[in-house]
Amino acid sequence: MIKVQLDRQNFEYDVYTLIKAFYPEEQVQVYEKLPEKEPEEDVLLTVIVLFAERKPEDGFDADGARESTALSVQLKNSGGGIVLEETETCGPLTESRADRREVKKVLKQMLYRLLSAHTGQKLPWGNLTGIRPTKIPMSLLEAGWKNVDIARYMRETYYTSNEKTALAIAIANRERHILKDIDYENGYSLYVGIPFCPSICLYCSFSSSPLHLWKNQVDTYLDALCKEIAYASGEFADKTLNTVYIGGGTPTTLEPYQLERLLTTLEESFDYSHLLEFTVEAGRPDSITREKLEVLRKHKISRISINPQTMNQKTLDFIGRKHTVEETKEAFALARSLGFDNINMDLIVGLPGEGKEEMEHTMHEVLALGPDSITVHSLAVKRAARLRLFRDEHKEMTFTNNCEIMDMMASLAASGGHNPYYLYRQKNMAGNFENVGYAKEGKEGIYNILIMEEVQSILALGAGGSTKIVWEKDRIERIENVKDIKNYIERIDEMIERKKRGLHE
């Protein structure tokens, strides 16, 4: 266990996530003041972060222009002795967003240096704990910075490795090129959530439910969804729709007639005249049939995903993917035969029992199929996933990810003509790495970039949908739908009312 004393709660998330990056398996408990009579035998490390305001009248900041903040960070061992400590002075701690950012930057730099020295580790992404690291080089490119200056800034400010710095900058440049014709101010993208899956994978914590539990209520869910579509399309009628993404869950759990109903409703409700991309996440090979793919082709879906996650049958069986490697190959071949010319495949690094050899096998099998893009995910085992809920049942599991595997995946992707085009990170990610989308030229997923860079509004419909309205560069409002399917159906009028308030108030 790691105990933290932190007297400013508004920095709790930043401190907690950075410590967890160094100690992913340790429980981290944050206190405003450490308990006086708590057993210490299980405490591996104590971290103390203290803030002290310094005012000009107290003799600080001789020019009298600004107050300042003294930051103190200490690491104490299990016996209570100080192992390492640092003290720095930075700008004032006010309600100003800019001031808070400055204090946070100094705090994370100090904490990273101490934890790195104590553990002997250097994290690939340095002290960056957010999920969108490419936003930093993207914003600097927009401000006119050169690549070499951005690289120096990222290494000196966030301690990112040379490799991750180069990756982030390369992707930011490619994203900027792909998005050059996107209408940020009047344009928007549409997400539609179908929260059903054939079965729930052992590592999954998405808002999805096994189809067999809801088989008789899918049409009722679509009734509610179509009601939300009718309202939302009216609200956005004067805007330009650039991309559509139907995800989940697994949208192809819908029967052909249900897919037909949904896609027809969307076509009749939204203006597609400026549409650049329409993605349907077919996802699970065991949910794909010729009839469903024919419905998608009829409605001119331009991009689909067929996601094996791994091409090792033993792993598929263990994690609860109810399909075979051969079925993945058959589903892909079927989609190609029907004319789909932009197919993505998702893979996961760090699945239980898989190391470099297994990942190399998977990548060779996938490349042999010839997909147009490949998304390589680092396993993120969240609290809700059954891998954590039943960790005692699965003590023998190992989760392997390292620079060697990630570099190998990048190299193999490049050998197949795929180059990185978007990147994001998640909490509790194996090896503190990232998810990277690789694509052939012209086959990039535009929606994927837009949702990561947060430069365009995303209208999200369905259970668990999170609408993001970009009012201006630093102001994004979120309008959340409930995740529970039953609640979404019963409270659809409330979900619509939430959007009204969010859009107009």
pLDDT band at 57 (very low <50, low <70, confident <90, very high): low
Average pLDDT, the chain: 89
Reported as a single tens digit per residue, the pLDDT across 329-379 is 999 999 999 999 999 999 999 888 888 999 999 999 999 999 999 999 988
Domain that holds residue 425: 187-460
Does residue 201 carry a pLDDT above 70? no
What sign for the dihedral angle of Cα 215, 315, 433, 45?
positive
Q: Residue 156 falls within a domain, yes or no?
A: yes
Rounded-to-integer distance, Cα 305 and Cα 307, Å: 6
On whether both 224 and 100 belong to a single domain, the answer is no
pLDDT class for 64, splitting at 50, 70, 90?
A: very low
H/E run at residue 477: strand 475-480
Same domain membership, residue 245 and residue 140: no
Going by C-alpha positions, the residue among 479, 427, 434 that lies closest to residue 205 is 427
| Whether residue 201 sits in one domain with residue 165 | no
Closest CA to 213 of 228, 231, 199: 199
CB neighbour list of residue 57: distance below 8 Å, 6 or more residues apart:
none
- Nearest-Å Rg of the Cα atoms of the chain is 24
Q: How deeply is 146 buried, as exposed, middle or buried, from its count of CB atoms within 10 A (0-12, 13-18, 19+)? A: exposed
Greatest extent of the chain over all pairs of C-alpha atoms, in Å: 77
pLDDT of 403: 82
Q: Which of 62, 115, 56, 51 is nearest to 89 (CA)?
A: 51
- Asked whether the whole model's pTM tops 0.85, one would answer yes
Encode pLDDT of 6-25 as tens digits: 988 889 999 999 999 999 88
Q: Residue 85 is inside which H or E element, if any?
A: strand 82-90
Average pLDDT over residues 307-332: 91
Residue whose pair of structure tokens reads 């896609």 in the numeric block: 263
Q: How large is the angle between the packed helices 492-504 and 218-235, nearest 10 degrees?
A: 20
Provide the pLDDT for residue 68: 85
Alpha-carbon gap, residue 199 to 210, rounded angstroms? 5
Residues 15 and 101 in one domain: yes
Same domain, 348 and 211: yes
Look at 379 and 419; give whichever has higher pLDDT.
419
How many folded domains does the chain comprise? 3
Beta strands 196-197; 209-210: pairing state? parallel
Q: pLDDT of 440-463, one tens digit each? A: 999 999 999 999 999 999 999 999
Asked if residue 182 is part of any domain, the answer here is no
Quick check: is 493 in a domain? Answer: no
The reply to whether 112 and 144 lie within a common domain is no
| Helix (H/G/I), strand (E/B), else coil: 128 | coil
What CATH number did the domain enclosing 309 receive? 3.20.20.70
Note whether 283 and 231 are within 8 A (CB). Answer: no
**What is the rounded distance in angstroms from the CA atom of residue 347 to the CA atom of residue 239?**
35
| DSSP strand pairing (457-461 vs 45-54) | unpaired
333 and 254 in a common domain: yes
- Residues 219, 245, single domain; the answer is yes
- 497 vs 505: CA distance, rounded Å: 11
Same domain, 156 and 283: no
Token pair in block for residue 184: 């940020």
First to last CA, the chain: 45
Do 377 and 362 form a contact (C-beta atoms < 8 A)? no
Q: What is the mean pLDDT of residues 29-44?
A: 79
